[in-house]
Amino acid sequence: MYQFTIWRLTLLVATTISISMEISSNAAERPNVLFISVDDMNCDLGAYGHPLVQTPNLDRLCRMGVRFDSAYCQQPLCGPSRASLMTGLRPDTLNMHTLAHELRQKNPDVVTLGELFRNNGYFSARSGKIYHYGNPSMIGTDGNDDPSTWDEKHNPVGIDRSQQENITRYGAGQEKNKNLGISMAWWDPVSEDTDHTDGMVASRVIEWIHEKKDEPFFLAAGFFNPHCPYVAPRKYFDLYPMSEITIQDLTLAKDDLLDVPPMAVQRDMRNWPYYFKDVTVDEARKCKQAYYATISFVDAQVGRLLDALSKNDLLEKTIIVFWSDHGYFLGEKGLWYKRKAFERSARMPLIVAAPGYASGKTSRKPVELLDLYPTLADLCNLKAPDNLEGQSLRPLLRDPNHYAWDKPAVTQIWHSKKAWGYSIRTQRYRYTEWMEGKAGRELYDHQTDPDEIRNLAESDSHQQEVARLSEMLRPYVRLPDAKRESIPSR
């Protein structure tokens, strides 16, 4: 017993010394952060095992860090998702559920992620889109930016914005004078990467890397692709012959929706399939090709950023985070875009490479975008606000499948006072309630049904699981009264 006690005390002292040394070392080195954002990117990536989509630079980043296979946004809509990530607070806490520019109006005292770094002596700057921008309408402006977050900002304009008249548009209502923020549209100019907004974004961040290599920095590269319209240099389109682009059979797609509550797809059924009236299957395939092209285009820009860090001997001094604001449908179930509670919309890529932590590893534990704020504060030894609602990913960066990580991921949908819902994702199940269950429920077993084809919510054999997940979800349902309207039980 005495020897066991001595062993425990020795282990405790050794662990304490190790942690203290790590904290002291990290505090002295003050790691940089390269914060890479993409817009509307799903997990159709070579880096995530997709057989067609080429992402050699994201593959490279995965070898440097941890790929999170079960990462989820808090709301699959740019504005609230990005505000949530940048504050570490859920959309309900912020009272932000739309694309309105209202972060400081509703939360004047919030300390944003970049602001935290500024307050601690870091140079904080962004090029491109980090907070919400109407894409492409707000390219070249500040959009819904938060000035307190940055020391410097950069709003480039490329041919994807300045030459919109060359973009091909599909579907009824897609006239030339209509904004392209929601569109089935593409363009493949013979052009250089740096002719495009995202190429310019990368160039400015590379300049900052060179300029600020001797001081701690938080640099945000906010890429607008692969958000529609899908515009990239032709060489990236050439990577994806149309003969290789497939799309789900529409009969099977419609069958997938037979057991889904109407509210789950109410925005998508008016002109089903593909959202706009009179879009053909071949036109949808062309847009899917273009979407893949823009992914490879962005991947090339990520490679430029990694090369810049390497050239300046900063790879071992910089935490690199790659994230998208939500997922995206490309014809699955006959659907397009985001703003749905399905896995395809709520899940997005997340890669974190932190020097001294795991590399070339994959985590299948559910995590959330709002976990990034406490993670970066933790890794950089910064005192974060006490009200953050995420959790540091440090344990998973050490051991990507840490046994004690059991936090679920919660995604919410808000269309109007009469149409909203919440979805909870555990390692095995996705469970969704519309209007607290009054407008329907969904339960999918991802162990046997990763494409969410069979809704088990009404299955007699799954009622115990429904009850358990409903109870787990309840504390997260905090929609402000002004944004909700009750409906009678069915």
Active-site option among 62, 78, 228, 287: 78
Question: Which of these, 410, 379, 424, lies nearest to 66 by C-alpha position?
Answer: 379
Tell me the C-alpha to C-alpha distance, in Å, between residue 189 and each of 165, 225, 288, 450: 12, 15, 17, 37
Dist CA 130 CA 404 (whole Å): 32
In this structure, are strands 184-187 and 230-231 parallel, antiparallel, or unpaired? Answer: parallel
Dist CA 295 CA 460 (whole Å): 43
Structure tokens at 247: 């799309």
Neighbouring residues of 167: CB distance < 8 A, sequence distance ≥ 6: 180, 185, 186, 187, 229, 231
Dist CA 61 CA 356 (whole Å): 15
Question: Which of these, 324, 295, 376, lies nearest to 129 by C-alpha position?
Answer: 324
- Residue 74 C-alpha from the chain's centroid: 9
Structure tokens at 314: 């900063």
Dist CA 149 CA 146 (whole Å): 6
78 is catalytic: yes
Contact 40, 325 (CB under 8 A): yes
Question: Which of these, 221, 177, 307, lies nearest to 33 by C-alpha position?
Answer: 221
Dist CA 135 CA 128 (whole Å): 11
Dist CA 288 CA 337 (whole Å): 11
In the DSSP assignment, the letter for residue 372 is H
Query: What does the longest C-alpha to C-alpha distance in the chain come to?
Result: 82
Count CB-CB contacts under 10 A for residue 170: 19
Active-site option among 43, 73, 132, 154: 132
Please list the active-site residues.
78, 132
